Amino acid sequence: MSTAYSDLPVVKYEGQNSTNPLAYRWYDANRVVLGKTLAEHLRPAVCYWHNFCWKGEDVFGLGNTVFQREWFNEADPIKAAYMKLDAAFDFFAKLGLPYWCFHDRDVAPEGATLAESNRILDGLLEAAAKKMQDGKVGLLWGTANLFSHGRFMSGASTNPDPEVYAYGAAQVKHALEWTNRLGGQNYVLWGGREGYETLLNTDLKRELAQYGRFLSSVVEHKHKIGFKGTILIEPKPQEPTKHQYDYDSATVYGFLKTYGLENEVKVNIEVNHATLAGHSFEHEVATACALGIFGSLDANRGDEQLGWDTDQFPNNHVQLVPAMLEMIRAGGYTTGGTNFDAKVRRQSIDPIDQLEGHIGGMDTMARAFLSAAALFESGQLEKVVADRYAGWEGDLGKKIHGGASLDDLASLVHAQGISPAPRSGRQERLENIVNNFV
């Protein structure tokens, strides 16, 4: 059937000299870098929610459908959902990217009961499974929406009402089982409401314990059903809650350690969430890699003049090179990938705008990765880092890690007359090296 995207061309790679706005200039899916193709390194995905569920409304225009798509104008919500599904897979085919991502409520409208909601979702995901097979599109991750409905206004797992907790658990069970059936690579939990607005009515210790039990039960069910993918938490500091319990990668790691889940759960890091937490994107990636919980990425950006989550398409490859370098150093993705959790601007009302947003985002990520790969292969920064920490490979470093006490070290300093002099970190030189590759 004809969809909003039927008249758009299939996007192909045409190279850096192309002047075609509907072609990839940097993303050559089959180009081999560091032993794998770009498609294998980046594992790009298209998100369902921003592209096919958002009508272009904002807080000053609620209820206004700015984007005119055929499924938004259909009165029957189930029929509209099937129209939306057709359009989504038509769009995926135009981009030629290997994966998609969804929340359960993105795909299917909610029924009067959870049982009815599940039946509606079952029919749509059965249809999606056929489309995935026909279009050779995989599922990067699935998840359940535990934040939009009013029942979740005080959280799902951290809600003061155990009935809300139970409802959320049942919803996650169904979404996780479908993610497994569709061959999903990961399952994500975004705790947008898992936090608090005020401590005046919050038992923080109790809520953290609830969150820990909830996540443990998800991991238990993963193993029960034989899901081979990775469970991911997506850190974010605030918005919609004042304070979210999964503030950043380091906070998530501390939470996982507390509940013995550090070997079971990893993080899905979003660029805009990292900056909202007061970090650089590369800091969040490096932290997750260092702690062994790096899983996947949501590719977008914020606006430096705005203090909220704007979810814009990435368009500055230079800013992304350090994060790509950290990912390469750590060995890259295993089950994770690069999901475009990004949306066009409210004034970009045509379907072609969505296509161009993804083209630009894909080229930006590919260009950043290629620059980072060339930098990594040159070995220039790796040599500087190795030289800077070389002392830790010597006798003193080995003694320290071997259990030397404060008394041992004090005796050694006095006996050998150790009096270290400061050494330059050569930051300006290193920044110049990076600029040579971008």
Is 61 within 8 Å of 355 (Cβ atoms)? no
Q: Which of 324, 257, 334 is nearest to 294 (CA)?
A: 334
- E strands of 307-414, at which residues? 338-340
- E strands of 227-331, at which residues? 230-233, 243-244, 265-270, 294-298
CB atoms within 10 A of CB 50: 18
Give the distance, in angstroms, between the CA of residue 224 and the centroid of all CA atoms in the same chain: 25
Both tokens of 335, joined, read: 């089950």
Which residue pairs, CB below 8 angstroms and at least 24 apart, start in 109-114?
109/77, 109/78, 109/80, 109/81, 110/149, 114/167, 114/170, 114/171
Give the distance, in angstroms, between the CA of residue 379 and the centroid of all CA atoms in the same chain: 28
Cα–Cα distance between 357 and 90 in angstroms, integer?
Answer: 16
Please say if 103 is a catalytic residue.
yes
Residue of 41, 86, 90, 103 marked catalytic? 103
Question: Binding site: what residues are annotated?
Answer: 234, 270, 273, 298, 309, 311, 341
Both tokens of 311, joined, read: 């979810």
Query: Could you give the maximum distance between any two Cα atoms of the chain, in Å?
Result: 85
CB atoms within 10 A of CB 309: 20
For tokens 């998609």, the residue is 100
C-alpha distances out from residue 408 to 369, 392, 399, 400, 405, Å: 46, 17, 9, 9, 5
104: which residues sit within 8 A by CB, 6+ positions away? 117, 121, 142, 143, 144, 145, 171, 174, 175, 178
Interstrand relation of 32-33 and 36-37 (parallel, antiparallel or unpaired): antiparallel
Residue of 90, 104, 106, 363 marked catalytic? 106
Residue 103 has phi, psi (to 5 degrees) of -95, 155
Question: Binding site for Mg(2+): what residues are annotated?
Answer: 234, 270, 273, 298, 309, 311, 341
Cβ burial of 21 (10 Å; 0-12, 13-18, 19+) is: exposed
Q: What is the DSSP string of 53-108?
A: T--S--TTSTT---S--GGGG-SSHHHHHHHHHHHHHHHHHHHT-SEEEEEHHHHS
How long, in residues, is the chain? Answer: 438
Give the distance, in angstroms, between the CA of residue 164 and the centroid of all CA atoms in the same chain: 26
Catalytic residues: 103, 106
